[in-house]
Chain A
Amino acid sequence: MSVLIIVESENNALKRNAAEVASYGVALAAKLETSCTAIAFHAANATELGHYGVTKVAHVSNGPTHFDAHAYASAIAAFAAANNVSHLVVSSSADARFLAPLLAAKLNAGYVPNVVELPEEMSPLTVKRTAFTNKAFVYTQLLTACNIIGVGNNAFGVIDNTVDCVVDEITAENAISNLEQVSIEKVTGKATIADADVVVSGGRGLKGPENWHLIEDLAEVLDAATACSKPVSDMGWRSHDEHVGQTGKPVSTNLYIAIGISGAIQHLAGVNSSKVKVVINSDPEAPFFKAADYGVIGDAFEVVPKLTEKLKAFKALG
């Protein structure tokens, strides 16, 4: 029995969510009274996992250098089988949710994503996860010999616990893809919805794409990612990858600011697991006020520029 923590990397460095997954995996191993190892692909700074209690990292330095679900799953499954791994821990990022099902089938493992806490029972292993797009929780038992837990994004948190960390270089013979990457387009230098601490989101209340500078200026001051409601992307005011909610991207950030968004149930479902929600809306009856922590009843065209200016001054003070 042992725990294997699967961390993500990009551009030869660990991704930010590695800290939370590592913290969870270390805590899980302690609870199971067993050892734990992390596995990373192409991450020059893998030793930094030692900040979160990881003492051993298997570092794969061959195979595709960009995330490749098939190749990585093959390599991880072989490593898990060779090392008597009983519990695998992954994040619930889009990449992790691409990878984990492949792994689960290869290892005949039960898999539960969006887990929000350490297991409450160890035998049978029982975890609490979100369901119905954050409208409920469910306690799920994992019934297989080998299990995969997907830690909900921003659900468990990071535990600082610095230890010595040894990195073993390994070669994964079978890290071979069955797909060829034709191209990749990615914005650089801008916070993304999955990675940002703050997301500023605009709805139909902004009247048209020409007014989006309101959202962008506020986002810039806060180092925030920009997002939008579904009709906004359906009408082409903003691109599809900004659409958040039940049928768009999930948002699970520290601060979510909704501007001119009514708070329809499908929108709320996708953003509700954010820690703090602020709504700015001219209609005091807008349902978002029932879901938010802080609210301003007012015209976005007046409130948002003022808020942006004030935040600029606040940030300038440090």
Chain B
Amino acid sequence: MNILVCISRVPDTTSKIDFIEDDTEFSIRDVQFVINPNDEFGLTRAIWFKEKQGAQVHVVHVGTTKSDATLRKCLAIGADKAFRIDAPALDGLAVAKELAAFVKNNSYDLIIAGRESIDYNGAMVPGMMAALLDIPFVTNCVGLEIDGTTAIAEREIDGGREKLKGTLPIIIGSQKGLVEESDLRIPNMRGIMQARQKPFEVVPAQEAPASTKDIKFERPAPKAEVKLVPADDLDQLIDLLHKEANVL
């Protein structure tokens, strides 16, 4: 089985979100970039397939040389080969077009991408790829079994789960639940050394045009002080929620 995991690189969850250039640009000062958590759950599942059922695991990323360390980390965790499509990630549709073109030129049975990236929260790349390639897609995926050419994927839905069956190739939007937090791997020394020997290819881009453009950022309005209610006067809390906040 050939598995492709699409990797996005995002600010670490604890990063301070700040903007420069008159709020037109995200400030990367002091920001640590990490593998998008939803992608990491997917990559971990891919490595599980490799170890349990036998598979080749490739990772791909659309971006500039700045992302090379992130891709090396994927190799250190256990991916076999990394590809970087050499273009700035402009918007969801452009990235999906680059990835779809890459998939067309190669042959994968299973394609995994995080259900959404935690920076722009677009949640669009995997679905767009699926439609461009006209292959099945299951997002919010919390369970995945592959048997021959059949995939059974479980999707988290509001208040429950839905089990879907499809024929490979298939695209999965991964998230926590596909593997557990405790299954995530921290690269060890051996993995890091091996990663240096693993193939890393830079692929020229299609230069798909952007369909959207971010022009300005805004910080949320500062919050009013919390209103504290004494623990022995909960009637006051109910009164505030009822009359002031109007939510009861």
Contacts and interface: CB of A to CB of B under 8 A. Distances in A.
Nearest to B233: A296
B159 A139 contact: no
A181 B119 contact: no
Given A186-B159, A240-B176, A278-B237, A131 B220 contact: no
10 contacts: A102-B128, A104-B131, A136-B17, A241-B156, A246-B13, A265-B13, A296-B230, A297-B231, A298-B231, A314-B238
B164 interface: yes
A109 B124 CA distance: 12
Interface string B205-246: 000011111111111100110111111001101101110010
Interface in A125-182: 126, 128, 130-144, 178-182
B132 to A, nearest CB: 5
Contact of B245 (A98, A255, A265): A255
Interface residues of A, number: 93
A29 interface: no
Contact of B160 (A109, A185, A297, A302): A185
Contacts of A69: 127, 137
Nearest to B97: A105
Interface in A254-269: 254-255, 265-266, 269
A31 interface: no
Contact of A132 (B119, B176, B241): B119
A299 B234 CA distance: 13
Given A102-B131, A105-B127, A182-B152, A254 B247 contact: yes
Contacts of A247: 13, 37-38, 118, 175-176
Given A97-B123, A101-B123, A101-B126, A294 B226 contact: yes
A297 B218 CA distance: 32
Interface of B: 11, 13-14, 17, 19, 37-38, 91-93, 96, 116, 118-132, 135-140, 142, 152, 155-166, 175-177, 180-182, 209-220, 223-224, 226-231, 234-235, 237-238, 240-242, 245, 247-248
Best-surrounded residue of B138, B142, B247, B248 (most CB of chain A within 10 A): B247
A179 B231 contact: no
A193 interface: yes
Nearest to A266: B13
Q: Which DSSP category, helix, strand, loop or mixed, fits chain A's interface?
A: mixed
A101 B161 contact: no
A178 B166 contact: yes
Contact of A243 (B14, B120, B138, B176): B176
A106 to B, nearest CB: 5
Contacts of B135: 178
Q: Which DSSP category, helix, strand, loop or mixed, fits chain B's interface?
A: mixed
Given A101-B131, A137-B220, A94 B157 contact: yes
Given A186-B159, A241-B156, A296-B231, A234 B131 contact: no
Contacts of B120: 131-132, 138
Contacts, number: 264
A138 B157 contact: no
Interface in A199-256: 222, 230, 234, 240-241, 243, 246-248, 254-255
B217 A178 contact: no
Contacts of B93: 104-105, 108-111
B144 to A, nearest CB: 13
B164 A294 contact: no
Given A138-B120, A139-B218, A294-B227, 5 more contacts: A105-B127, A113-B124, A132-B118, A182-B165, A272-B220
Contact of A181 (B139, B162, B226): B162
A310 to B, nearest CB: 5
Best-surrounded residue of B37, B177, B230 (most CB of chain A within 10 A): B177
A306 B214 contact: no
Given A105-B128, A186-B160, A289-B226, A234 B181 contact: yes
